[in-house]
Amino acid sequence: MKPTLSSVLSQHLEPFLADHKIPPYQLNALKSYRACRTPLLGSHSRYCENGHLMGVWYSSCKRRGCAQCQGLSNARWLAAQKERLLSVTHHHWIFTLPHDLLDLWRYNRAIFQDVLFRAVAGVLTTLSRDPKYLGAQPGFVLTLHTWGRNLSLHPHIHCLITHGGLRDGEWIEPRKSVLFPARVMMQLFRRSWRRAAGRPGG
């Protein structure tokens, strides 16, 4: 029988919690995943028009991150995003939260997440408007990931951005093949982070 997220958590969650501390919102999510499609969440039945029982199914947790009950929703979301993508060359960049702020992130996630998104958007907007680099409005998508491949806490934003943008209805190509230089983006990100966080010295 193919293992499910619920079965894995049923077997390993308690031993994991014995050696690790995690924020309450993560603990609540894991417990919901463990209970997903089990008797813990109850069940529902379906009947045909003649009143015959067609089946009984355990209820799902309906959490956004649950692999068991959000597969169809995720597929629909991905299809919708593909329809929005422009058929142009694009770049993939990653902006990472400074690791010396991880302890603050754990207990202030909503605030830090908002600051991180605003800092990244500030970098892209500032450089896009600069005629030295583009002088136009590109299209970009920002997605937050909070964990690394080894499951360590590693908040970072993935950015997909078009190689060029619109200005007065006309498509403008960047002046250089790299779009924006990495060193300039790094320096501007630090300043943008300070401004978004309300810190002096931006």
b or e along 95-109 (b: 16 or more beta carbons within 10 Å of the residue's beta carbon)? bebeeebeeebeeee
Lowest mean pLDDT among 82-86, 94-98, 110-114, 190-194: 82-86
> Does residue 5 or residue 166 have the better pLDDT?
166
Position 150 pLDDT exceeds 80: no
Rounded CA-CA distance 113/11 in Å is: 32
DSSP 8-state assignment for residue 25:
H
Q: What is the pLDDT of residues 102-111, one digit of tens each?
A: 888 888 888 8
Q: To which H or E segment does residue 90 belong? A: strand 90-96
Q: What is the pLDDT of residue 42?
A: 83
Rounded CA-CA distance 43/47 in Å is: 14
Mean pLDDT of 49-71: 80
